[in-house]
Amino acid sequence: MTDASVTTADPTTQTNPNPGKSAQLWEKFSDTALKRAVFSAFYSVKAPYFRTVMPRVREAVPGRCVVRLGKWWGVQNHIGTFHVIAGLNGAEAAMGLLCEVSVPDTHRWIPRGMRADYPKKSTGGLTITATADFPDFDSITRETGGQLVTIDCQIVDDAGVEPITAEIDVWVTAKK
């Protein structure tokens, strides 16, 4: 699992020397609102369940991804607030894109688990900011095995309240 001696990068200065296709597409489609909307639609098709919450990607850079979920009847629960599972689906969408733009094409990642709590009711839509301190990927080889990375998902509603908290563990390994 995680080795305390592994050096992690500063999340504000993380880069990806070997970006995958999602990272390359975001780079091409991130400069205008229309292009971001097109990218978001295509990203939702990549993992079809994401379409149920219609995520709008706002930012995607190594170490940080921001996704917006608008409130509509399809994500609303029986008491009129944003359904927690829909919010967590958005957190998974943010985590997935964060990994896509942060993990180099020489490595792969897979979610291992999620911890969530929902201490407050939500108001309106949600903005999800997924962040992580990714390791030095050169230290993750076929010989050394993988490393567990925890993605922190800050989920804030339109009133500035954090109605849901989530952490997602991701297992990162070198490609064979």
Q: For 85-138, how does the pLDDT look when each residue is reduced to its tens digit (9 = 90+)?
A: 999 999 999 999 999 999 999 999 999 999 999 999 999 999 999 999 999 999
Instruction: For residues 122 and 117, give the distance between their C-alpha atoms in angstroms, rounded to a whole number.
Output: 13
CA distance 93 to 168: 11
- Nearest-5° angle of CA 102, CA 39, CA 175? 35
Asked if residue 142 has pLDDT above 70, the reply is yes
Mean model confidence pLDDT for the chain: 88
The confidence score (pLDDT) of residue 54 equals 92
pLDDT tier for residue 13 given thresholds of 50, 70 and 90 = low
For 146-161, what is each residue's pLDDT tens digit? 999 999 999 999 999 9
Average pLDDT over residues 12-35: 79
Q: What is the CATH number of the domain that holds 52?
A: 3.10.129.10
Instruction: Specify the number of domains making up the chain.
Output: 1
Q: Are strands 64-69 and 107-117 parallel, antiparallel or unpaired?
A: unpaired
Q: Is residue 7 part of a domain?
A: no
Sequential DSSP letters for 98-112: HHHHHS-TTEEEEEE
In a domain, 98, yes or no: yes
Q: Reply yes or no on whether the pLDDT at 72 is more than 70.
A: yes
- In a domain, residue 6? The reply is no
Please report whether residue 120 resides in a domain.
yes
pTM for this structure? 0.86
Asked whether residue 14 is assigned to any structural domain, the reply reads: no
In a domain, residue 40? The reply is yes
Which range marks the domain in which residue 37 is found?
21-174
* pLDDT at residue 7 in the model: 35
Within a domain: residue 168? yes
In a domain, 9, yes or no: no
Please tell me the predicted confidence (pLDDT) of residue 18.
74
Beta-bridge partners for 8: 135
- The vertex-124 CA angle with 118 and 127, nearest 5°, equals 70
